[in-house]
Structure 1
Amino acid sequence: MLDVPAPEPAAGQVVVDVERVGVCGTDMELFSGEMSYLHTGASSYPLRPGHEWCGTVTAVGAGVDESWAGRRVTGDTMIGCGHCRRCLQGRHWVCEQRFELGIRDGLPGALAERVAVPAGYLHALPDAVDATLGAMVEPGGNALRSVEAAGLTAGERLLVLGTGTIGLLVAMFARARGAEVHLIGRGPEDLALPRSLGFTQAWTRETLPDQPWDGVVDASTGAEMPPFALERVEPGRRVVYIGLSVPPSLIDTRDLVLKDVTAVGILGASAGLAGAIEAYADGSVDPRPLVAATVSLDEIVDVFAGRRPPGAGPKIHADPRR
């Protein structure tokens, strides 16, 4: 951990005093060196992670509306160039020249006391969204996009592969929209938390009932799970892939074609951030039980090294003010 100069807002930016920041699998892979961006050159050391965050705007740069000052906010991770074909079509999260806050080179992340963020990518937080919820907006946006991509209607059956943060958030958003949600964990030890959250239909691969699945979301990291998702989904429906394994995973496109299945990949929370904030504010989704502990910046090094504080949830938060 390094002491660095406090950020100053460039034109179009604000500086945020960080209230809370989450650690996710991407951050762990950046720390361990397994993250693919480190091998393609999109990311390089030294870097400062942290893309799940919230805080209060304390300074605004030239060209920024002064009304942002003093507001509690979170922000998009994906920062597009703003002028390419994809950005102009509203798909900035797949802009070839994009920055990814705290992930790709160019914009340091929020695992710090302050972070500089482009003002055009801010989202205001209502009073009902506390610091813990605010730092869960980014993973919530990913989960909400996954649920929407699955294309289910109320009463239909969704199978979620994985009981980590994203898998459980997918389950929460799907339940809030009236789906019948089932989850798969790696083993019996992974099923206690989802069941405690009211997801009684939590299984392992070996115990999963043989019944139709109107949609499948793969939020796992197992290389063997993408073909399993394709195998289990009903013909003519959708498989959503948001989890990534370190080794490459394979699916048989003959299965995809002969079942007339649509496969959807989810990169980034951008289009789901506003919906996640709304769901947290109205109480239809409450992800706070997923947070096992909140630690200081000094303690975050132990988390990156794999020494987790006790707690049942999969998510660790840091409070830079401690």
Structure 2
Amino acid sequence: MRAFVVTGAHQSAVEEVEPPRAGPGQVVVDVSRVGICGTDIEFFTGEMAYLHQGHARYPMRLGHEWCGTVASVGRDVDPGWIGRRVTGDTMLGCGHCRRCRSGYGHVCADRSEIGIRGGFAGALAEQLAVPVTALHALPDEVDDTAGALVEPGGNALRSVQGAALEPGDRVLVLGPGTIGLLVAEFARAEGIEVHVVGKSPRSLEFARTRGFTGVWTGDQIPDLPWDAVIDAANDPALPARALSLVEPGRRVVYIGLAGTPSLVDTRTVALKDVTAVGILGGSAGLAGTIARYASGAVDPRPLVAATIGLAQVGAALAGQLPDDAGPGPKVHVDPRR
């Protein structure tokens, strides 16, 4: 089968590789759509920390935001999965340790992450092998575009839930990328007043088309009481600014990751009686995301700027969008092209 392979920093190719076989407890999925994520770009450029920490190494097959149809199943798997449209969890815990047994498999010390760490090949290929325990069935109301946005949606939904907001509260979302905009969409669906902060004119212009209460640059943020601030950006200065902006006694949620360490004064955390929440992975938010997409409460599809084939992935990771790309922040891949 064809697969997109990163062989080194800024080095990649579409290669013919052996198709996966469904091992015990696994299924093989015919991949229909994959999202390109900022993590994929960091692996392509060589900046991803996992490369330097020994959790990942080249050659790599990327892709952890995906959907498709189950083509075959391994031993001990219900054959009723065959033919079903699915997406799946990225974070695969060992299943045996204290964290996994307590419901925290997404932070298992020995976890694999599909297309990221632990040797599980990613979905930028015609087929993908994945444990059946990671699968989530997709209803007909969730098409392929939305299906490949379930994983980032799970991260965004967990961020909103971590902010502990009530209808009528006000949230400030830092960063109008895919995660930030999904955070804003989920929050608005809960009756929360949403404001978004960004930098680039292109991202700000697109965010304004989404109809949020306010879209601002960093120097335009209005002097309002912010019941939560959710940092979905990659600016190392923003975690401290989020803390300075949030109302005392409320919550700051950190889901964005900067390339360098961020400094937060814990004296401010204590003196403002603020709860700081970190989010890693969408595992606990996947089912809720599918339900919200299926009901129409949140429609993520306008965020997709273009859908390309495997041969165009290298250019996309290098920042080259197709000439007909729309204004959204997300690029999707159809490996069948």
Q: TM-score, normalised by structure 2?
A: 0.94
Query: How do 1:26-37 and structure 2 match up within 5 A?
Result: 26-37=39-50
Query: Which residue identity lines up with residue 168 of structure 2 in the other structure?
Result: G
Equivalent residue for 2:10? none
Corresponding residue number in structure 2 for 1:9? 22
Q: 1:312: which partner in 2? A: 327
Answer whether contact 2:202 2:327 (CA < 8 A) is retained: no
**Aligned partner of 1:177 among 173, 184, 190:** 190
Q: For residue 331 of structure 2, what is the amino acid of its counterpart?
A: I
For residues 289 and 295 of structure 2, the distance between their equivalents in structure 1, rounded to whole angstroms, comes to 10
Matched, 1:157 2:157: no
Out of 208, 219, 227, the residue aligned to residue 240 of structure 2 is 227
2 CA distance for matches of 1:82 and 1:106? Answer: 17
Confirm whether residue 108 of structure 1 aligns to residue 121 of structure 2. yes
Q: Is the 8 A contact 1:80 1:92 kept in 2?
A: yes
What amino acid is the match of 1:115? L
Alignment partner of 1:38 is 2:51? yes
**1-side partners of 2:53 and 2:246: how far apart?**
33
The runs of at least 4 consecutive aligned structure 1 residues that moved more than 6 Å come to: none
Which shows bigger deviation, 136-145 or 308-317? 308-317
Q: Which residue of 1 aligns with 2:77?
A: 64
Q: Which sections of structure 1, spanning at least 5 residues, go unmatched?
A: none
Partner of 1:268: 281
User: How many angstroms apart in 2 are the aligned matches of 1:210 and 1:306?
Assistant: 35
Q: Please tell me whether the aligned partners of residues 44 and 105 of structure 1 are also in contact (alpha carbons under 8 angstroms).
A: no
Encode CA deviations 1:64-83: one digit per residue, 9 max, x unaligned: 11111110000000001000
Corresponding residue of 1:248: 261
Contact 1:194 1:200 in 2 (8 A): no
1:146 corresponding residue in structure 2:
159
> How far is 1:105 from its partner?
2.8
Provide the rounded CA distance (Å) in 2 between the counterparts of 1:131 and 1:189. Answer: 26
Letter in 2 for 1:184: V
Match of 1:125 among 138, 156, 166: 138
Matched, 1:210 2:223: yes
**CA distance, structure 1, for counterparts of residue 272 and residue 49 of structure 2:** 31
Match of 1:92 in 2: 105
Q: Secondary structure at the match of 1:298?
A: helix
- Looking at structure 2, the residues matched to 188 and 280 of structure 1 have their Cα atoms a distance apart, in angstroms, of 28
The alpha carbon displacement at 1:248 in A equals 1.0
Residues 194 and 213, structure 2, Cα contact 8 Å, conserved in 1: no
CA distance in structure 1 between the partners assigned to 2:330 and 2:319 by the alignment: 13
Contact 1:47 1:105 in 2 (8 A): no
Q: Give the Å deviation of 1:304.
A: 1.2
Counterpart contact for 1:57–1:72, Cα < 8 Å: yes
Q: Which SS does the other structure have where 1:193 is aligned?
A: helix
Q: CA deviation at 1:11?
A: 0.5
Q: Distance in 2 between matches of 1:234 and 1:50?
A: 38
Give 1:191 shift.
Answer: 1.7
The more displaced of 189-198 and 20-29 is: 189-198
SS in structure 2 of the partner of residue 278 of structure 1: helix
CA contact (8 A) 2:193 2:213 kept: no
How many residues were matched structurally?
322
Structure 2 distance, partners of 1:95, 1:101, is 14
With 300-309 and 215-224 compared, the bigger mean Cα shift is at 300-309
Q: Deviations over 1:223-255 (max 9, x none)?
A: 110000000000010000000010111111111
Could you say what secondary structure the match of 1:267 adopts? coil
Using the TM superposition, give the Cα deviation of residue 10 of structure 1 relative to its aligned residue in structure 2, in angstroms.
0.5
C-alpha distance in 1 between matches for 2:97 and 2:200? 45
Instruction: Give 1:290 shift.
Output: 0.3
| 1:188 shift after superposition | 4.2
Q: CA deviation at 1:187?
A: 4.3
Which ranges in structure 2 are unaligned for 5 or more consecutive residues?
A: 1-12
Question: Percent identity over the alignment?
Answer: 63
CA distance, structure 2, for counterparts of residue 190 and residue 68 of structure 1? 39
Q: Displacement of 1:103 after TM fit?
A: 0.2
- 2:148 is the counterpart of 1:135: yes
Q: Write the deviation string for residues 150-173 of structure 1: whole angstroms up to 9, x where unpaired.
A: 000000000000000000000000
1-structure distance, mates of 2:17, 2:295: 38
For the residue of structure 1 that corresponds to 2:16, the secondary structure is coil
1:121-149 CA distances to partner (integer Å, 9 max, x unpaired)?
10000000000000000000000000000
Contact 2:203–2:329 (CA<8 Å) still a contact in 1? no
